[in-house]
Every structure is written in structure tokens, then in C-alpha cells.
Chains A and B, each alone.
Chain A
Amino acid sequence: MSPIHPLGAEQLSRRSDPTRLRFETTAELEPLDRAIGQDRALEALQFGVSMRAHDFHIFAFGAAGVGKREAVRSILVSRAKREPTPPDWCYVHNFASPQRPRCLSLPAGRGRRFRDDMRQLVEELIAAIPAALETEEFRTRKDTIESEAKRPHEDALQKLAKDAGERQLALIRTPVGIALAPVKDGEVVSPDDFEKLPEDDKKRLAEAMKELEKVLESIIRRIPEWEKERRSKVRALVREVTTFAVGHLIGDVRARFADLPAVVAHLEEAERDIVENAAELIGGAAGGPEEPGFAGRYRVNLLVDHAGTEGAPVIYEDHPTHRNLIGRVEHHSVQGALLTHFGLLRAGALHRASGGYLILDAVRVLSQPFAYDALKRALRAREVRIESLGDSLGLVSTQSLEPESIPLSVKVVLIGDRMVYYLLSALDPDFGDLFKVGADFGEDLEWTDASAELYARLVATLVRQHELLPLERDAVARVIEHAARRAEHSSKLSVDLRDLTDLLREADHFAKETGKGRVDRSSVDRALEARIRRRDRIRERAYELIQRGTVLIDTTGAKVGQINALSVIDVGGFAFGRPSRITARTRLGKGQVLDIEREVELGGPIHSKGLLILQSFLSTRYAADQPLSLSASVVFEQSYSGVEGDSASSAELYALLSSLAEVPLGQSIAVTGSVSQMGQVQAIGGVNEKIEGFFDVCRLAGLTGQQGVLIPRANVQNLMLRPDVVAAVKEERFRIYAVTTVDEGIEVLTGLPAGERDAEGRFPEGSVNHRVERKLLHFAEQTRRFAQDAREGRSP
């Protein structure tokens, strides 16, 4: 096996060459009109918005900060401008069924006119109807009706009075009615005189009274009938006069909306209702929006007003609650009771977006009770029905409404991260039926000269958007290098716009603080350093513990069964690498590698999987034809929290091999990488942070020139290391080895050959593999001996 050489400094980080950027400052660059590196997502979005089918809604997903919302909005706004403006929607009183307000659709902008016309109409009616009912002509006719209505009653009473008079009786008014009384000389007979009357006369008077009382009774009984007739005639008169008075007022409004049959039909119903209820209309105040009075029933609740909308609407609902999505029924309190009417219906985002586009944050929709269900129901039914959540759940029993639903034609774009998209796809059967278009936003793009130019234009665009100082070419180059570091790849650039924007704003701040008119490279560097400085207290504390010897990490010397592994700690968005000591102990046993982390439930499943893989590697490489008579234990020393991931599995294997071979491992080399059953070292994440973490610990202890990190070769492409690390490598004060196999790694760590099997299948004497195999054979032999002794009854 050829010796493994450390990587050259040029392999550790890709620099952006400012001379390849063809501008002096970003002020010279044209802004971008579309998101870069998102061609797939943009194509999906374009497809989704152009598909007019009702169930081709869109889910735009990707990591936070990659510009999903801006890209979606940009595409939608651009397309919406070319599309027709949808109609206005109004709710009006339903004269046939007041609990079910009717909805009316009017061309965009005419809803407002309709509302204003009806408001004015009501005001005019309240003045015009009383005026019509106070004309002398009306009163003359009404009085004629009144007096004619009284005539039968009065005539009947007059005739009765006459008949009574002829029989010595008179009609007398009592507090509650009418009485018949015997009279003599115009006065009622006194009790004494009555007593003196002959019995025949008394009997005659009593019979006459009884007879006339029957007539009187029939007259009085007919009074309600005459009253009814009178009321009916007066009502008919009022109706006739009101019809005349309101006819031309409503006619004016009707003429303005003659092209809208539904509006005309409503006006005709309103006219009939006004005529029927003129007394209530003029008796009740016009009222306000909360308490509209009787006149409020003729008003118009303009639910969706597109008077100021150009093209189709693009609505972003920031707080997608159930009520904010599908609208709500408000109530007002009247003497403790909650009342409502159609004027208190309020539009939701779906109403406002109908005929256009609605952008929603998926997590926010999902986290609001019943909002997602309501959204799906509306999209499936293609209509929005305003429904109070309390009512639909039967939680409240206040007066409520069942407004007519409004047809819905909308393209919904949900925005969220990948996990949400995949979970919804997997768990919600409706999701796939409605959100058929997934727009997958990537996190990075290939770093080429062309993409670097585009990236520079992206920087220029953001600088303009946020009114920042222009960046010099050098500064842009530094920003590009940072983007590659964010992408964790030397040939990719991160498109995390949130991070990029923040960096530009921070660099602008530092440039302005030092009185510069442009952002130079040093301002970007300072912004990056300050950002780390603000967040690295935990890292500093972790390194201090190592430096003080509280956490035991050797960076020099060599130890059997002990190695430095590397892990990444991510705290509040700041990630840093930290070395951890792994130790392995081996002895005769039953073929088990004990994962102590797992035993105490500190090891995650992936970590445990790594241990099982290396157990398999050991048994197949060294004990393929005999029992693996090994008992080994592996532990992360001084680890008091969970361990997850398999990036330490190669380190664990090296520690085991060292223990078995009884060969010391160099403590100046930290290791990262996962391992396969075949002994291949595989790529891991966070390679830059891990290397830098060990570098920082070594620097604090003193760089010896022997220290370094062993990484999987597959991770070389991910290297975008800090300039100080690159400089140390260049000056041979630090080393980075990239390996493909465990054998390569063990050679770096032990300085001994790993050893390859010869034609007879034997490892070379003295090689690490030979020592391991010899130890395992020894364990197997011991096991056999113990087993034989046991069978023959001998004590071991």
C-alpha cells in the first residue's frame, strides 16, 4: 500500500478569484429578475400556475431562507398582472330567508358603487316615505277611509240609540264599554223609582234591555272585523303611495345595474319589501354598521372589493386561522345577547384571493385548529362558506347565519420545508388530490464562473432592495467563498438568501461604521468574525475545559485503544467541532462488541448501527472461518449526553483494532468518518467544523506539526476551511489526511503497515491486521480449550 500523504493547502478551500469578476462594484450590475439555482422549482411553479385545473395547487418546499416566498410571489404577481380582475362579492339581505344572506357578484369595482348607491337609497327612502305619507292628498284619502270605516259602527250605534230611545232606554258609556239604561225625562231612572215600577214594566224593560244588548253585542263583535277592513284599506293606500314614492328612487339604482340580473332581482325584492314595511323603515333609525336598524336590511355588505385591484389578486395570509381563511360571522351585544346580521359577515383570505392566488405558510396552516381542514374543504367543494367555528362545533348557541357560499376559483400555494411536504404526502390522502404540483427549491447551485457572476448579481439585487452600500469585487468574492462554506462544498454555492442578506446588512453596518462608501472584503470578514464572536461562547467554554484538562483530550503521544473522534455541536444556528476521546477494551468473549452508549440509552440508532457494522467487519475480515471469541467495549469518554450518527464508527474501529493489535494510536490525529462492512471509510457531515474544532484545540495546546485530522476521501470536495487552518497546513503545522479504507487510516494512525493477505491468505508478520488476527485466533483457541475442558469436566 502506498503511503498516505497529507492534503495540500490548495485542496482545503476553494478561493474565489476576484479578477474573474468583471466589475468594480455591485452598483454596476443588473439586478436579477428570477431566483438563481432554482430552475426546477421555478419550472414547477410556472407549470402549476398555468394549469387551470382546480386541483393543481402547489406546494413550494425547501430549506428555510432559500427565497421560496419571494420566488413564488414574483411569479404569481407577474402572471396575475396579465389576468382579468375577478368580480366583487357582496352579501345582501335574503328577504325570503333572513338567516341565509344572499351573495351577489358584480364586476370588479361595481360592488363599491352598488354599496354606496344602496346606502344613499336608504337615506333617501327614510326622507321620501314620510314625506309621501304626509301629503294632504294622502291624508285626505286616509281620513276618508277612516271615516268610512267608522260609519257602519257609528250608524249601527246611532240606530241602536234610536231604537233604545223608543223603548225608554239610553246608551251610556262606561269606563270599559257601553251600557243600556232605562230613562225617564232624559235621566236614568233612580233605584227608588225603578222599585216603584209595576212588575210588568220592570219585566218589559228587562226584556227590551236584553234584546238590545244582543244587538249591541253583535255591533261590538263586528268592530274587529271593521277594524281589520280599515287597516287593510289603509295598508293598501300606504302601499300604493309608497310604491310611487320609492319606485323612481329604486328605479335609478336599477337602471345603473340593469346589466346584472341578480342585482336587478334583488332590487325588485327590496322594493317589494320596502313597500310592505314602510312603517318599520321610517320608524327605525338608519343605524350604523353594528346596529343597522330596520333600514340595514337594504344595505350591502361589500365582502370583497376589487375596485383597486389590477389583474388577479395575489394574497399572502400571514395568520391563516380558520376565520382568517374562510371568513367569520361577527356578533354585537344587545342587552347581553349576541346578535348578528349579514352586515357582520367578514371575508377570509380565500374570498379575497378567489379569481387569483393565495400564498400560505404550510406550518402555520397546520398549526391553526381546523384551518387545514377548512382549506381542503373549500378547495374540494370549490366554494367558500362562512361558518363560525363555534357554530360548526356546536360550542355556542348564539344567533347565527348560514350565508350562501361563494364560488371559489383560486390557486393556493403552500410554502414549507421538505419534511412537511413529505409528511403530508405520506399521511394525508387528500393532500395528493389537491396539491399535485411540488416545487422543490434547492439549497445550492454549482459554483462556476457563470454562476459566480449570477451570484454577484444576486448580491447586487439584495444590496439595492435593502438600500445598502455597494460591494467591491473583493468583497463579493469573499461572500461567494462564504456561500460555498455554507453549502459545505467547494464546488457549490448556498442560496440561503436569509443568511446572505443578513451578511450583507452586517457588512454594510461595519463599512458605514468605519466611514467607507463601499463594502470591502475586510468589512465582510469583520461581519463574519463578529457573527462568530457573538455566538461562540459555548465553543470557547468547551475548548477551555479541554485546555484546563477537565475534559481529557491528548493531542500528542500515542495510546493503545484510545483515539480522538470528532463531533459537531450545533447551538442556536452556530456549529462547531469538538474532539471526544473514544476508548476500546477487548478480551475473550462471545463475539460481542458492547456499545456502552447504547447500554445506558445515550446512543442513538444510527450510532448503534455503526457499531454493529464494525462488529460485522471484524468477524468477516478476521474470523470468517472460526468463532469471533471477542468481548469488546467501546465508549465515548466524558460524554454525558446523547451520541448519534455514525461518523465516529471508523474511530471506534481504529480503537478496537488498536486494542486487539496492542498497537498504540497517535493522539495527535483526530478521526472522522463512517465505515462500511467492507472496511471502506465513508463520507460524513460537518467536516469543516470538525477539522477546525480539532485545529483550535491543538492550537491552544500548541501546534507541533504532527497534529491533524483523518477524514474520508469522499469529503475532500466538502472542504472549505478557514484561512488560518489553510495557512497552518501550508506551513506544515497541521495536517489533513484523506483516506478511502480503514487500512489506509490505521497506517496513518499507527505508522505501521495495515497488511494485505498473501496468496495463502495470511497477513504479513508485524502488520496491524496480522496482530489483530493473531489476537482473535488466540481468543478462539482459548474458547475452544475452555469448551473442551468443560466437556471433559476439567476446571479452566
Chain B
Amino acid sequence: MNSTQPEARRPRVSAAWGVGGATLSAVEAAAEIAARLGGDLEARLIEDANLIRLALLPIGRQLASHTGRVEPLEPLRLEAELRTSADRARQILARTAAGRQLHWTFTVVRGSIERELGAAAGVADLLIIGRHPPLITLAQIETLGCSVLWLSEGLSARAPVALVVEAGDRGVDFARQTARAISRGVVREISAARGIAAALGEAAGGVLVLSANSRLLSGEEARQALSRGSASILVCRPPTAPFPEKSRPK
């Protein structure tokens, strides 16, 4: 082993999501990707403190998606629904992990979403965040200190993976390594020069892998385009130590 190189270790993967929307499918996809990377998964369900506070207000109401009707937001009922969401997420995680020999932990945290995401990012090489409902914007993702996979709904096992490559980007090697790790098929490399639309087209239904330094992430217009696309976005930031070769999926 080269003493100048940091020691290889298992990648630390965190997954965080809020309540409601398509969170359960995101849990499943996160476990799948963590397994592919050969990492350990730390999953956390963030219960938005704002939601708890709203329930305590006399004017606290919600519009239920399944009925389209406005109803009072009752604290006790909310607590029960939150517990149900957590139980379901845990069951899905356990089931998905069992078939893939994945080491995992599951935590429910209550607080500010930004703060909790920051905490998760602080201990992870890769943070997986569900896009639906959005917990965070792309601009906020860039501020987190680790690689972030902004996960769309319905990521299938055979989804295409497109890697945006641009000259001089020092993070592209790590992005390539990560793209190969999460992909079971071919990773299609495309030049950043082809633009954001072409990149999204190649990754349609799959994952678009970008180095955190990519110029496609710069500017509001580019962020808008990426936010509107259906692909999952993986923003790669090299970790302090490389992932071991053996941790790559076979």
C-alpha cells in the first residue's frame, strides 16, 4: 500500500427524506444504490419541526391529497401518522437490505430540514435525498460537503447512467468511479460542451452524474433545467479516502 494514499474504506452512505409524497420508493432506491456501492447505509427520516409547530396552532389545517379536502391538523393524529410513515420506511429498508446483505441503521429525527441534512452530509461520503417532495433545492445541494444523489421517483435497476465529462475537472475521475459503481449497465460519457439538454436526454429515466465542479451546475438557468428534468442528479465530490475496489458491485 502506498503510504501517501489515504487508506481505502467502505463508503458511508446516508439517505434522508421527509414525510409524504414518494418517499418510500426513494428509501428502496437508496438501499439498492448503497448496496451497489458496497457501503453501509445510515437512513434518517426527518420530521419537519415546522410541521409539528403548525399542528399546535389553532389555525393549523392540511389539505389531504387522497380526498382533496381541507381538514384540521390535529397533533395526536399527526403523531400517529408520522409513526406509521416511519414504521413503513423501516420495513421497506429491512426488506430491501435483507436481500442485498446491506448494513443499515434507521433513525427518525425531528428538526429543521436544512440542519438535519447538513448533519447527515457531515458524516457521509454520499447523501441520497429524495426529490419528491423536494426537501432541498439544487442550489442548496451544492453547499453540502459530500456527494449528493438527488433521487427521482422510479429509478429502476437498469436505468441508464450518463456521466458529464469536461476537461480540467479534477473531480471527474471520482464521478466516473461512482457512476460505474451505481450502474449495472453501461455508463455513457458525454461532453459538457453538448449542453444541459443533451445531458438530460442521455440520462432520461436514469442518473445524470456531474462533478461538483461541473460548469453545468453553475447558473440559475442550468439549475432550473436540471430541476425540471426527470433524471436523478448525482453531484460528486471526492471523499477524503477512496472507495476500495472490492466495494464495487460485481
Residues of A that sit less than 8 Å from B by CB: 134, 136, 139-140, 142-144, 146-147, 150-151, 170, 172-183, 187-191, 194, 202, 205-206, 209, 213, 216-217, 220-221, 223
Contacts and interface: CB of A to CB of B under 8 A. Distances in A.
Given A172-B54, A177-B63, A188-B50, 20 more contacts: A136-B204, A139-B205, A143-B229, A143-B230, A146-B230, A173-B20, A175-B78, A176-B62, A178-B20, A181-B50, A181-B57, A189-B57, A194-B57, A194-B58, A209-B61, A213-B70, A217-B69, A220-B65, A220-B68, A221-B68
A172 B50 contact: yes
Interface stretch (B6-14, B80-88, B117-125, B215-223): B80-88
A167 to B, nearest CB: 13
A143 B63 contact: no
Interface residues of B, number: 43
A136 B160 contact: yes
B64 A173 contact: no
Given A173-B18, A173-B48, A147 B61 contact: no
Contacts of A170: 50
A144 B20 contact: no
A151 B230 CA distance: 11
Contacts of A221: 68
A635 B51 CA distance: 119
Contacts of B56: 190-191
7 nearest CB pairs, A to B: A175-B81, A179-B62, A143-B204, A188-B50, A139-B205, A143-B230, A140-B204
A216 B230 contact: no
Contacts of A134: 158
A442 B23 CA distance: 91
Nearest to A223: B65
Contacts of B231: 143
B171 interface: no
B73 interface: yes
B59 interface: yes
Contacts of B58: 194
B60 A181 contact: yes
Interface in B142-181: 158, 160
B250 interface: no
Contact of A191 (B57, B160, B204): B57
A190 B53 contact: yes
A140 B19 contact: no
B68 A147 contact: no
B133 interface: yes
Given A136-B160, A140-B204, A220-B68, A176 B61 contact: no
A209 B70 CA distance: 11
B63 A147 contact: no
Contact of B20 (A175, A181, A202): A175
Contacts of B82: 175
Contact of B205 (A140, A175, A176, A181): A140
Contact of B160 (A139, A178, A179, A190): A139
A38 to B, nearest CB: 77
B68 A217 contact: yes
Contacts of B70: 213, 217
B249 interface: no
Contacts of B18: 173
Contacts of B53: 181, 187-191
Given A172-B50, A189-B57, A191-B57, A178 B65 contact: yes
A176 B60 contact: no
Nearest to B84: A175
Interface in B194-250: 201-202, 204-206, 228-231
B228 A177 contact: no
A340 to B, nearest CB: 37
21 contacts: A136-B160, A136-B204, A139-B205, A142-B205, A143-B204, A143-B205, A150-B230, A173-B48, A174-B78, A175-B19, A175-B82, A176-B62, A179-B63, A181-B51, A181-B60, A187-B49, A188-B49, A189-B57, A190-B56, A202-B59, A216-B63
Given A143-B231, A173-B133, A182-B59, A187 B50 contact: yes
A586 to B, nearest CB: 111
Contacts of B62: 174, 176-179
A150 B22 CA distance: 14
B51 A174 contact: yes
Interface string B1-43: 0000000000000000011110000000000000000000000
A188 B55 CA distance: 10
Contacts of A151: 228
Contact of B60 (A179, A190, A220): A179
Contact of A147 (B20, B112, B229): B229
Contacts of A144: 204, 230
- A139, A174, A188, A205: most-surrounded residue (chain B CB, <10 A): A174
A174 B18 CA distance: 9
B189 to A, nearest CB: 15
A173 B53 CA distance: 13
A652 to B, nearest CB: 101
Contact of B19 (A136, A147, A173, A202): A173
Nearest to A206: B59
A688 B53 CA distance: 121
B201 A140 contact: yes
Contacts of B229: 143, 147
Contacts of A217: 63, 68-70
A182 B228 CA distance: 28
A143 B202 CA distance: 11
B198 to A, nearest CB: 11
A182 B64 CA distance: 19
B78 A182 contact: no
Contacts of A190: 53, 56
Contacts of A191: 53, 56-57
Nearest to A145: B230
A179 B61 contact: yes
Contacts of A209: 59, 61
Contacts of A143: 204-205, 229-231
Contacts of B69: 217
Given A142-B205, A143-B231, A220 B57 contact: no
